[in-house]
Amino acid sequence: MKIIVCVKQVPDTNEVKIDPVKGTLIRDGVPSILNHDDANALEEALRIKDQYPDTHITVLTMGPPQAKDMLTDCLAMGADEAILLSDRALGGSDTWATSNALAAGIRKIGDFDLIFAGRQAIDGDTAQVGPQLAEKLGLPQVTYVKEFSFNGRDITVKRALEDGYEVIQLQMPCLLTAIKELNKPRYMPVKGIYKACEKEITVWNAKDINVDLKKVGLEASPTNVHRSFTPAPKGKGIMIDGDSPKDLADKLVAKLKEKHII
Amino acid sequence: MAIKVINEKCKGCALCVKACPFDAIDMIEKLAVINEKCTACNQCIPACPFQAIEKTAEEEAKVDLSQYKDVWVYTEQRNGKLMNVALELLGEGYRLSREIGNDAKVCAVLIGGNVEHLVKELYAYGADKVYMISDPLLERYTTDGYTKVLTDAIREYKPEIVIFGATHIGRDLAPRVAARLDTGLTADCTRLDVNTGNYIDYLEKYTTVNTEGLDRNNGDKNLKQTRPAFGGNLMATIVCPSHRPQMSTVRPGVMNKRERDDKAVGELVKVNHKLSKEDIHTNVVEVVKAAKELVSLTDAQIICSGGRGLGDASGFELIKKFADKVGGVVGASRAAVDAGWIDHSHQVGQTGTTVKPKIYFACGISGAIQHLAGMQTSDTIIAINKDPEAPIFEVADFGIVGDLYKVIPEIMAKWDEN
């Protein structure tokens, strides 16, 4: 079986802090990581490979040259091949333009049975690229996949809803987006790290993937950022002082009453 | 749209590099150079003391925008019941359609197997018109079936704006529809404006933007779609100037329903559609409701949330008792959910649920940005934490530095005296 896993390198937004005085982002020393949901997507592909060793896994990303580091991690986890789409012409793409670029990259890869992607990336949280890529490739999709099994070309998945799940059947080829509940991503084995260092990462530019330049990049994107800003900091609240937990609790409840909050 | 550095004016001070949230500016031979990570977010423009950075705009209308008129709300129903967010969005759609003026209407798009009984309710919550698409093949939601009928209807009737609730289904359907129409889509919006004056009022009140010099009457009727970005650290307003319709998904729980008016009447349009079994490639075998209690964080008036400071899973027993006492619902931070102490359905924050209760108790929650993004618009925030330096105190209306295991039982005792 041939599987393509779409991944993204993201800043670890948990580590980002706001400068309380200037209200600006502090991103010094914030590490770049493999997006969480994408790690679940890759793990599911690796589990298929564990069972069927002739499975071939290609990880695909679009980003700046630094994204190679993340691809090396994916190879160390066990992917067979890694491809980076990188070109200034692709920069600033919104989700529509990104899906056009990824679709072009996948057409160049050629055959595949299954595409896995993460549900959403933690830097944008849009969850749009998976479905839009499926649309551009004309594939059926299931998003929010929390359980996966297959038999020949037939796939059965559980798709998470807010208050339960759906059981959905479909056939390969198709695109599935993974959520955290799907599995627990493995650590990189030491042997895998050695192997990954020996592997070449393929880098393709816009010309290599033969993409229409009117469909990628900042200029072509239907949406663009009109303005960005930081939310106004809320005024500092009241710190309750007290000698004992009881004293603190009494004063709090009294304040809430005084302000007609309760 | 692109950000450009005017090389003659650039002094190489690197202030823009610091201001850029996306690491998209490099200093090369003492000149700022924009790299491919740039998203044209504009943060660097005011940061430059030498006015050496500018945004170049070359907009050409790609479609005849004047053909597009109304505001459509995808009024999601499951099992013949409207989702709460559908009613919230009708309220918002009503507001936006009146901002557009020129007799623009707010229209509900109702898709399902047999859903005509819901039409009256849609009128009652503000719909001027209901476009109904019903077919036995649409009984259950499928990406393929719903995308096809909705896309065809949009092509035929040409709405100016289409908004969806950012539910698991809305976030599956909207991107597929937008991609098929080759138009833009903005995810998880928390604020929408057509009228520039209202947008500027919002910027003045809730943000750090300097609004001096902004023209309130510039006649810009593009939809200004504001959403949290970068893990909630930044807010971004997104526009889709030259494609139609303008599409957004909107977070449940942030927009306001209209007062129900059972006397309201509207116009029903039964949409013709061409859908066949072969169009649908997935088979929904069954829909299972989770046995666990449904946590309705978005509707809660009071939320008692626990975080890493609880120490272990048993801490949620106290939080549950506390919530029962004050008539609230249990919430949690991502750290507590990731630790496996409580189910994800309780999670408040950027990747969980956005809430705005009357009272939010944050117990043992440090206040990571991603958590704050999901609760900081609560009316009153009360933080209880051992660490006086915890960032949660920056947004709290009332703060208590202390051991939550001692303080909470005392609050519960005092609460009874009410």
- Note the pLDDT tens digit of each residue in B229-274: 776 667 889 999 999 999 999 988 789 899 999 999 999 999 999 9
B284 in a domain, yes or no? no
Distance from CA of B34 to the nearest CA of A (A): 10
The answer as to whether A247 is a domain residue is yes
Q: Which residues on A lie below 8 Å from B333 (Cβ)? A: none
A187 and A114 within one domain: yes
Q: How many domains does chain A have?
A: 2
A156 and A85 in a common domain: yes
A-proximal residues of B, 231-250, CB under 8 Å:
231-243
Any bridge partners for residue A60, and if so which?
A6, A83
Which chain B residues are within 8 Å of A23, Cβ to Cβ? 208
Tell me if B360 is assigned to some domain. yes
Q: Return the half-sphere exposure (C-beta side, CA atoms, 13 A cut-off) of residue A167.
A: 8
CATH number, domain of B312, equals 3.40.50.1220
Cβ of B402 within 8 Å of Cβ of A245? The answer is yes
Domain identity same for B322 and B357: yes
Tens of pLDDT, residue by residue over B322-355, are: 999 998 999 999 999 999 999 988 999 877 888 8
Pairing relation of β-strands A81-85 and A56-62? parallel
Give yes or no for residue A229 having a pLDDT over 90: no
Whether A187 maps to a domain, the answer reads: yes
What's the pLDDT at B61? Answer: 47
Q: How confident is the model at residue A262 (pLDDT cuts 50, 70, 90)?
A: confident
Chain A residues in contact with B35 by the CB 8 A cut-off are 64, 88, 91
Q: Is B255 a member of any domain?
A: yes
- Contact across the interface for A13 and B370, Cβ inside 8 Å: yes
Q: In terms of domains, do B255 and B306 share one?
A: no
- The answer to whether residues B86 and B144 belong to one domain is yes
Question: Over the stretch B151-170, which tens digit does the pLDDT of each residue have?
Answer: 999 999 999 999 999 999 99
Taking an 8 Å cut-off on Cβ atoms, the answer to whether A135 and B209 are in contact is no
Q: Which of B227, B244, B279 is the last residue of a domain?
A: B279
Same domain for B79 and B120? Answer: yes
Does B72 lie in the same domain as B44? no
User: Which pLDDT band holds residue A203 (cuts at 50, 70, 90)?
Assistant: very high
Identify whether the C-beta of residue A211 lies closer than 8 Å to the C-beta of residue A102: no
Same domain, B275 and B329: no
CATH of the domain at B229: 3.40.50.620
Its domain, for residue A240, covers: 232-262
Q: What is the 3-state secondary structure (H, E, C) of chain B?
A: CEEEECCCCCCCCCHHHHHCCCCCEEEECCEEEECCCCCCCCCHHHHCCCCCEEEECCCCCCCCHHHCCCEEEECCEECCEECHHHHHHHHHHHHHHHHHCCCCCEEEEEEECCCHHHHHHHHHCCCCEEEEEECHHHCCCCHHHHHHHHHHHHHHHCCCEEEEECCCCHHHHHHHHHHHHCCCEEEEECEEECCHHHHHHHHHHHECCCCCCCCCCCCCCCCEEEEEEHHHCEEEEEECCCCCCEEEEECCCCCCCCCCCCCCCCEEEECCCCCCHHHCCCEEEEEEECCCCCCCCCCCCEEEEECHHHCCCCHHHHHHHHHHHHCCEEEECHHHHHCCCCCHHHEECCCCECCCCCEEEEECCCCCHHHHHHHCCCCEEEEEECCCCCCHHHHCCEEEECCHHHHHHHHHHHHCCC
pLDDT at residue B293, rounded to an integer: 53
The reply to whether A99 and A53 lie within a common domain is yes
- Contact criterion met (CB < 8 Å) for B184 and A126: no
Q: CATH number for the domain including A40?
A: 3.40.50.620
63-122 in chain B: CB under 8 A from chain A: none
My answer on whether A215 and A177 are in the same domain is yes
Domain range for B48:
2-56
Is A224–B238 a contact, with Cβ atoms under 8 angstroms apart?
A: yes
Q: Is residue B291 part of a domain?
A: no
Same domain, A170 and A254: no
The fraction of chain B above a pLDDT of 90, given in percent, is: 68
Shared domain for A211 and A250, answered yes or no, is no
B110/B232 same-domain check: yes
Same structural domain for residues A216 and A239? no
Tell me if B287 is assigned to some domain.
no
pTM: predicted TM-score of the whole model, two decimal places: 0.81
Low-confidence winner among A10-24, B97-111, B178-192, B386-400 (lowest mean pLDDT): A10-24
Same domain membership, residue B162 and residue B308: no
Min Cα separation B87/chain A (Å): 18
Domain membership flag for residue A225: no
Nearest CB to A167; choose among B186, B285, B398: B285
Q: Are B73 and B106 in contact (CB under 8 A)?
A: yes
pLDDT digit string, tens, across residues B41-66:
888 888 898 889 988 765 444 567 88
My answer on whether A190 and A252 are in the same domain is: no
Percentage of chain B beyond pLDDT 70 is 96
B205 — contact with chain A (CB < 8 Å)? yes
Q: How confident is the model at residue A128 (pLDDT cuts 50, 70, 90)?
A: very high
Is residue A116, in this structure, part of any structural domain at all? yes
Q: Do A164 and B184 touch (CB under 8 A)?
A: no
Task: Quickly state the pLDDT bin for A17 (edges 50, 70, 90).
Answer: low
How confident is the model at residue A24, as a pLDDT?
A: 58
Q: Are both B43 and B84 inside the same structural domain?
A: no
Question: Chain A closest CA to B263's CA: distance in Å?
Answer: 33
CATH number, domain of B20, equals 3.30.70.20
- Put simply, whether A116 touches B (Cβ < 8 Å) is no
B:361-400 residues touching chain A, CB 8 A cutoff: 368-370, 376, 379-382, 393-400
Q: Chain A neighbours among B 28-47 (CB < 8 Å)?
A: 35-43
Q: Do B239 and A224 touch (CB under 8 A)?
A: yes
Closest CB from A131, A135, A232 relative to B206: A232
Q: Give the integer Cα–Cα distance in Å for A112 and B365.
A: 45
Question: pLDDT of A66-90, one tens digit each?
Answer: 999 999 999 999 999 999 999 999 9
User: Within this chain, do residues B230 and B358 fall inside the same structural domain, yes or no?
Assistant: no
**A62 and A190 part of one domain:** yes
Chosen from A94, A182, A227, A260 to mutate, greatest number of chain B CBs within 10 A:
A227
B220 touching chain A per CB within 8 A: no
Provide the pLDDT for residue B271. Answer: 96
- Number of domains observed in the structure of chain B: 3
Provide the Cα torsion B85, B87, B88, B92; round to 10°.
Answer: 130
Do A143 and B171 lie within an 8 Å CB cutoff?
yes
Instruction: Looking at the structure, tell me whether residues B258 and B404 fall in a common domain.
Output: no
Identify whether B294 is part of a domain.
no
Query: Is there a single domain that holds both residue B222 and residue B142?
Result: yes
User: If contacts are CB pairs under 8 Å, which of residues 202-241 in chain A contact chain B?
Assistant: 218-219, 221-234, 236-240
For residue A245, what is the DSSP state? Answer: H
Q: How confident is residue B197, by pLDDT bands cut at 50, 70 and 90?
A: very high
User: What percent of chain A clears pLDDT 70, i.e. is strictly above it?
Assistant: 92
Residue A10 DSSP class = E
Task: Give the distance from residue B414's alpha carbon to the nearest chain A alpha carbon, in angstroms.
Answer: 6
- The whole-chain average pLDDT of chain A stands at 92
In a domain, B285, yes or no: no
d(CA B47, CA B56): 17
Q: Tell me, yes or no, whether A142 lies in a domain.
A: yes
pLDDT by residue (tens digit) across B294-333?
Answer: 567 887 889 999 999 999 999 999 999 999 999 899 999 9
Q: Are residues A142 and A237 both part of a single domain?
A: no
Same domain for A259 and A175 = no
Do residue A159 and residue A130 come from a single domain? yes
Asked whether the beta carbons of residue B397 and residue A238 sit closer than 8 angstroms, the reply is yes
Look at residue B296 and tell me if it is in a domain.
no
The pLDDT assigned to B296 comes to: 79
